[in-house]
Amino acid sequence: MGQAAPPLDLDSNLRAEVRPSGRVTGEVAIDKQVTASPTPSPTPVPNASSPTPEPVNTSAYWNSWFVDGAGPAGNILIANNTYTYTLDVAAFNYTLLRRTTQSAGAKVDPAFEELIADSRNREIVLTIKPLVPEGSSLRLGDDRHSYTLKIDLEKIRHPDADAARKFADGSMSITEFSAKASAGSIQIALTAESQGCATVAFAIFRGLQPLDHLVQRVSIGETSTSAPVCDSADPAQADALSSGLNPLRKVSLGMEGSGADATAAAALHIFDFEAYSMAVFVDGRPGKTPVYGWQTASSVVDFLKTDRFQNMILKARKDSADKKPGSYLPAAKELARILFSTKSGNSTEDDAKNAWAAFRAIVRESTESPVVVVRVASDVTSGQNRSIYVPLGILGAKGPDPVLDKPIIVVQPMAIERYPSRDKCIGDWMFAVPEGLENVPGAVMPPGFFPAKVPGTRISEIDKLRQYLAATTGSVTPLLTLASASAVGFVVLAHQDEGAMWFAESTDHIIPQDIEKKFPSGSVGIFAACSAASAKGRNTALLQRLNEQGFDTLIASPFTIDAGYGVVFASTFAEVMAEVASEKPPPTILNLFDKTIARTAQKFKDRADADYSELGLEYVLLGNPAIKLCAQP
pLDDT tens, residue by residue, 134-170: 777 889 988 788 899 999 999 999 999 999 999 999 8
State residue 387's pLDDT score. Answer: 72
Mark whether 232 and 358 lie in a shared domain.
no
The average confidence (pLDDT) of the chain is 80
Mark whether 439 and 379 lie in a shared domain.
no
Asked if 558 contacts 629 with a C-beta cutoff of 8 angstroms, the reply is no
- Give the separation between CA 438 and CA 92, rounded to whole angstroms: 63
Domain final residue, candidates 365, 392, 411: 411
pLDDT tens, residue by residue, 82-118: 999 999 999 999 988 887 667 888 999 998 999 999 9
- Give the separation between CA 561 and CA 406, rounded to whole angstroms: 24
State residue 252's pLDDT score. Answer: 55
Starting at the edge strand found earlier in the chain, the sheet holding 81-90 runs: 104-107, 61-67, 81-90, 184-192, 138-140
Asked if 280 contacts 268 with a C-beta cutoff of 8 angstroms, the reply is yes
Q: How confident is the model at residue 54 (pLDDT cuts 50, 70, 90)?
A: low
CATH of the domain at 539: 3.40.50.1460
Q: What is the signed CA dihedral for 165, 169, 175, 181, rounded to 10 degrees?
A: 10
Mark whether 427 and 517 lie in a shared domain.
yes
Domain final residue, candidates 244, 259, 292: 244
pLDDT tens, residue by residue, 390-420: 888 999 999 999 999 999 988 888 777 664 4
Please name the residues in contact with 490: beta carbons below 8 A apart, sequence gap of 6 or more: 429, 430, 432, 519, 523, 524, 525, 526, 546, 551
Looking at the chain, the number of H-run helices and the number of E-run strands are: 13, 29
Is the per-residue pLDDT at 215 higher than 70? yes
For 607, list phi and psi in degrees, rounded to 5: -85, -40
State residue 237's pLDDT score. Answer: 44
Domain final residue, candidates 379, 411, 443: 411
Is the per-residue pLDDT at 81 higher than 70? yes
Closest CA to 550 of 512, 525, 521: 521
Helix axes 307-321, 329-339, angle to 10 degrees: 150
State residue 69's pLDDT score. Answer: 53
State residue 22's pLDDT score. Answer: 35
Is the per-residue pLDDT at 426 higher than 80? yes
Mark whether 480 and 401 lie in a shared domain.
no
Closest CA to 35 of 62, 61, 64: 61
Percent of the chain with pLDDT over 90: 30
Query: Exposure pattern of 592-629 as b/e (b: 16+ CB <10 Å)?
Result: bbbbbbebbbebbeeeeebbbbbbbbbbbbbbbbbbbb
Asked if 116 contacts 110 with a C-beta cutoff of 8 angstroms, the reply is no
Instruction: Find the farthest-apart pair of alpha carbons in the chain and give their distance in angstroms, rounded.
Output: 99
Domain that holds residue 100: 55-244
Q: What is the signed CA dihedral for 249, 255, 260, 265, rounded to 10 degrees?
A: 0
How many CA atoms does the CB half-sphere of 550 hold within 13 Å?
A: 19
CATH of the domain at 125: 2.60.40.10
- Give the separation between CA 357 and CA 526, rounded to whole angstroms: 34
State residue 34's pLDDT score. Answer: 32
Q: How confident is the model at residue 474 (pLDDT cuts 50, 70, 90)?
A: very low
Decide if 329 is inside a domain.
Answer: yes
Decide if 1 is inside a domain.
Answer: no
State residue 331's pLDDT score. Answer: 93
Mark whether 154 and 239 lie in a shared domain.
yes
- Strand ranges in 433-546 using DSSP code E only, listed in sequence order: 457-459, 487-492, 495-497, 500-502, 509-510, 523-527
Q: What is the mean pLDDT of residues 31-45?
A: 38
Say if residue 511 is exposed, middle or buried (CB neighbours under 10 Å; 0-12, 13-18, 19+): middle
Mark whether 428 and 403 lie in a shared domain.
no
Mark whether 224 and 297 lie in a shared domain.
no
Asked if 630 contacts 586 with a C-beta cutoff of 8 angstroms, the reply is yes
Secondary structure (3-state) at 378:
strand
Mark whether 407 and 456 lie in a shared domain.
no
Mark whether 575 and 427 lie in a shared domain.
yes
Decide if 133 is inside a domain.
Answer: yes
Q: Which residue has the higher pLDDT, 531 or 596?
A: 596
Q: What is the mean pLDDT of residues 23-44?
A: 37
C-alpha radius of gyration, the chain, whole number: 27
Mark whether 108 and 93 lie in a shared domain.
yes
pLDDT tens, residue by residue, 331-380: 999 999 999 999 888 899 999 999 999 999 999 999 988 889 888 877 67
Decide if 305 is inside a domain.
Answer: yes
Please name the residues in contact with 525: beta carbons below 8 A apart, sequence gap of 6 or more: 489, 490, 491, 492, 543, 546, 551, 553, 554, 555, 556
Asked if 236 contacts 250 with a C-beta cutoff of 8 angstroms, the reply is no
State residue 53's pLDDT score. Answer: 53
- Give the separation between CA 64 and CA 86, rounded to whole angstroms: 5
Decide if 257 is inside a domain.
Answer: no
- Give the separation between CA 622 and CA 210, rounded to whole angstroms: 25
Q: How confident is the model at residue 5 (pLDDT cuts 50, 70, 90)?
A: very low
Mark whether 429 and 399 lie in a shared domain.
no
Mark whether 549 and 598 lie in a shared domain.
yes
**Amino acid identity at 557:** S
Number of domains in the chain: 3
- Give the separation between CA 524 and CA 588, rounded to whole angstroms: 11
pLDDT tens, residue by residue, 560-591: 778 888 889 899 999 998 888 788 888 888 88
Asked if 558 contacts 531 with a C-beta cutoff of 8 angstroms, the reply is yes
Secondary structure (3-state) at 78:
strand
Helix axes 563-580, 589-608, angle to 10 degrees: 120
Decide if 446 is inside a domain.
Answer: yes
Closest CA to 405 of 363, 369, 355, 367: 363
State residue 423's pLDDT score. Answer: 61
Closest CA to 70 of 226, 188, 179, 269: 226
State residue 185's pLDDT score. Answer: 95
- Give the separation between CA 495 and CA 532, rounded to whole angstroms: 9
Partners of residue 150 on adjacent β-strands: 125
Decide if 613 is inside a domain.
Answer: yes
Decide if 335 is inside a domain.
Answer: yes
Q: What is the mean pLDDT of residues 625-629?
A: 82
pLDDT tens, residue by residue, 598-619: 899 899 889 888 888 888 888 8
